[in-house]
Amino acid sequence: MTAPTEKPGSARERPDVENLSVGDLLGNVSRDLSTLMRQEVSLAKAEIRAEAGKASKGAGMMAGAGMAAWLCVLFLSIAVWWALANVMDEGLAALIVAVLWAVAGAVLYMSGRKTLRTVNPTPERTVDTVKQVPDALKGDMS
């Protein structure tokens, strides 16, 4: 003879709460909620650690790419200097390359400064929303 199979939600799966006080029930709920929150925080930490590892690996690769680009610009500048040195004095060729880089730096500086002047450090929409919170709590939705 086989044992009868019970359906989900049957008496066997449900905890016996008939003999527990309301305080005990609330304590159980509080403990279970606390355990759940600790587990969720642990999961979030593990996910953040994994993503931070990927981000640091990507940042290292980007730094390597930046270094390679800098070296490329350096050697291209030397090549331009040597090419100009074939038709003029080496010192003058080096000066021309340096002036070209100074002009490029000045243009980048000016456009960067212009862009930074348009930045508004105050989060205007957030300030407006925060100002509306006290009225919303009072029930005034005007």
Residue-wise pLDDT tens digits, 81-124: 999 999 999 999 999 999 999 999 999 999 999 999 988 777 77
Q: Structure tokens of 8?
A: 């989900």
Mean per-residue pLDDT, 70-86: 96
| Stretch among 9-13, 23-27, 67-71, 108-112 having the lowest mean pLDDT | 9-13
- pLDDT higher than threshold 80 for residue 9: no
pLDDT of residue 41: 86
Q: How many CB atoms lie within 10 A of CB 97?
A: 20
Contact present, 82 and 66 (Cβ < 8 Å):
no
Question: In the chain, where are the structural domains located?
Answer: 21-87, 89-142
Q: Structure tokens of 39?
A: 């587990």
pLDDT of residue 7: 56
pLDDT of residue 47: 87
Closest to 4 (Cα-Cα) out of 12, 120, 118, 25: 12
Q: Pick left, alpha or beta for residue 9 (phi over 0 → left; psi -120 to 50 → alpha; otherwise beta).
A: left
